Amino acid sequence: MSRLCEGRVVIVTGAGRGIGREYALQLAREGARVVVNDLSVSRSGEGTEESTAEAVASEIVAAGGQAIANHENVADFAGAKRMIDAAVEHFGALHVLINNAGILRDRTLCNMTEQEWDAVINVHLKGSFAPCHHAAAYWRDLYKQTGTPVNARIINTSSSSGLYGNIGQINYGAAKAGIAAMTIIAARELKRYGVTVNAINPHAQTRMTEGIRERSAEEIASRHPRWIAPAVVWLASADSQDVTGRIFELGGGHLAAMEGWRRGPAAEPIDDAARIGPVMRDLAQRARRNVDMKGHELD
């Protein structure tokens, strides 16, 4: 019996540590050939000397799998294309793109600098768009050449910070909300080619989340990346072709499908600012409350 991802070529960005590393290792165990992309930078995006991508690729090869390291910057448009091309040139194909790379530059709105905003938006939002663009173009052209759906996958990474909102992460939250919207739109656009596009909202204890808040030992255990990776491996497989345009909450005791914006309470349109106030207030009061980072309604 073949393994779940036997022969599938998968790019995992930010795969040198944390969740991305767990993805790469589990995908390889399920038969995938993995492009381990990582710039080996710090949590805030500054450079380090350690080659984490090489270490993970070597670990996969030592275990009998197939992997190569890749050091392209996903936020560089040309670099993202080189990453896609490297997968095709080395393994002969590309079946899955997992956008996982990210950094943090946390600060409140009043204190955030332009550079802190730009850096996070660049890595997360553009760093998801650029690889998606080049992978999608590759699959579109392949579909046009063969006339056969490609059965390919894009798996993006959103966050509770973008879906629920988290104080001190206005740059990160805006990027992650944008990624959720991008996922839904791309799923509609690429369906014709046989490409599914989904995203995850992960809860994990990694260097990205260490020190943000105190957690119990039990909570830390529930946030191990091993609780997230199996769902991503399945989404990467050929078996998941009927699931697209969804965001899944994983880890931290969660295995759930997220539900997006829907129209709530409504009233007849009013063309008078002097009269519309009470109606607007009533709509706001009757609408479901926003939720906190744990998904609980705010007071």
The catalytic residues are 172
Task: Give the contacts of 160 (CB within 8 A, at least 6 positions apart).
Answer: 166, 201, 203, 249, 293, 295
Angle formed by the axes of helices 77-91 and 127-146, nearest 10°: 50
The CB-side HSE value for 144 (13 A sphere, CA atoms) comes to: 7
* SS3 labels along the chain: CCCCCCCCEEEEECCCCHHHHHHHHHHHHCCCEEEEECCCECCCCCECCCCHHHHHHHHHHHCCCEEEEECCCCCCHHHHHHHHHHHHHHHCCCCEEECCCCCCCCECCCCCCHHHHHHHHHHHHHHHHHHHHHHHHHHHHHHHHHCCCCCEEEEEECCHHHHHHCCCEHHHHHHHHHHHHHHHHHHHHHHHHCEEEEEEEECCCCCCCCCCCCCCHHHHHHCCHHHCHHHHHHHHCHHHCCCCCCEEEEECCEEEECCCCCCCCCCCCCCCHHHHHHHHHHHHHHCCCCECCCCCECC
> Using alpha carbons only, what angle is made at residue 96 by residues 91 and 99, rounded to the nearest 5 degrees?
115
Pairing label, strands 33-37, 152-157: unpaired
